[in-house]
Structure 1
Amino acid sequence: MAQFGYTLMCEQSGPRELVRYAQAAEDVGFDFEVSSDHYSPWLVSQGHSPYAWTVLGAVAQATSRVELMTYVTCPTTRYHPAVVAQKAATLQLLSEGRFILGLGSGENLNEHVVGEGWPSVDVRQTKLEEAIEIIRALHTGDLVTYDGEYFRVDSARVWDVPDSPVEIGVAVSGEASIASFAPLGDHMIAVEPKSDLVEGWMQEHDGESRAIGQIPICWDPDRDAAIERAHEQFRWFAGGWGVNSELPTPASFTAASQFVRPEDVAEQIACGPDLDELAESVRPYLEAGFTDVALVQIGDESQDRFLAEAAEPLLERLRAL
Structure 2
Amino acid sequence: MTRFGYTLMTEQSGPKDLVRHAVAAERAGFDFEVSSDHYFPWLSAQGHAPYAWTVLGAVAHATERVELMTYVTCPTLRYHPAVVAQKAATLQLLADGRFTLGLGSGENLNEHVVGEGWPALDERQDMLVEAIEIIRALHEGGLVTWAGEHYRVDSARIWDLPEGGVPIGVAMGGPKAVERFGPLADHLIATEPSADLVGAWNDTDGTATIGQGARAIGQIPICWDPSRERAVERAHEQFRWFAGGWSVNADLPTTAGFAAATQFVRPEDVADNIPCGPDLDAIVEAIRPYWEAGFTDVALVQVGDEGVDPFFEQAAEPLLDKLRAAAG
Q: Residue 263 of structure 2 aligns with which residue?
A: 258
Distance (Å, rounded) in 1 between the aligned partners of 2:113 and 2:9: 20
Distance (Å, rounded) in 1 between the aligned partners of 2:163 and 2:144: 18
Deviation at 1:186, TM superposition (A): 0.1
Task: Give the ranges of 4+ consecutive aligned residues of structure 1 lying more than 2 Å apart after TM superposition.
Answer: 202-206
Would you say 1:280 and 2:285 are equivalent positions? yes
Contact 1:12 1:46 in 2 (8 A): yes
Q: Residue 98 of structure 1 aligns with which residue?
A: 98
TM-score (norm 1): 0.99
Deviation at 1:206, TM superposition (A): 4.1
1:226-272 Cα deviation digits (max 9, x unpaired): 00000000000000011000100001000100000000000000000
Distance (Å, rounded) in 1 between the aligned partners of 2:188 and 2:216: 5
Q: Residue 163 of structure 1 aligns with which residue?
A: 163
1:237-316 to 2 correspondence within 5 Å? 237-316=242-321
1:53-78 Cα deviation digits (max 9, x unpaired): 00000000000000000000000000
Q: Give the 3-state SS of the residue equivalent to 2:133 in structure 1.
A: helix
Distance (Å, rounded) in 2 between the aligned partners of 1:58 and 1:202: 36
1:73-92 to 2 correspondence within 5 Å? 73-92=73-92
Q: Quote the RMSD (CA, aligned, Å).
A: 0.6
1:192-231 to 2 correspondence within 5 Å? 192-204=192-204, 205-207=207-209, 208-231=213-236
Q: Residue 55 of structure 1 aligns with which residue?
A: 55
Deviation at 1:176, TM superposition (A): 1.4
Deviation at 1:308, TM superposition (A): 1.2
1:291-312 Cα deviation digits (max 9, x unpaired): 0000000010111110111000
Distance (Å, rounded) in 2 between the aligned partners of 1:50 and 1:206: 35
Q: Residue 173 of structure 2 aligns with which residue?
A: 173
Contact 1:202 1:209 in 2 (8 A): no
Q: Residue 189 of structure 2 aligns with which residue?
A: 189
Q: Give the 3-state SS of the residue equivalent to 2:22 in structure 1.
A: helix
Q: Residue 120 of structure 1 aligns with which residue?
A: 120
Contact 2:108 2:251 in 1 (8 A): yes
Q: Give the 3-state SS of the residue equivalent to 2:322 in structure 1.
A: helix
- What one-letter code is carried by the residue in structure 2 that aligns with 1:315? L
Deviation at 1:279, TM superposition (A): 1.0
Distance (Å, rounded) in 2 between the aligned partners of 1:172 and 1:39: 22
Contact 2:186 2:208 in 1 (8 A): no
Contact 2:24 2:312 in 1 (8 A): yes
Distance (Å, rounded) in 2 between the aligned partners of 1:257 and 1:112: 21
Q: Give the 3-state SS of the residue equivalent to 1:48 in structure 2.
A: coil
1:29-53 Cα deviation digits (max 9, x unpaired): 0000000000000000000000000
Deviation at 1:203, TM superposition (A): 2.8
Q: Give the 3-state SS of the residue equivalent to 1:173 in structure 2.
A: coil
Percent same amino acid at aligned positions?
72
Q: Residue 132 of structure 2 aligns with which residue?
A: 132
Listed as ranges, the gaps of 5+ residues in structure 1 are none
Contact 1:26 1:65 in 2 (8 A): yes
Q: Residue 9 of structure 2 aligns with which residue?
A: 9
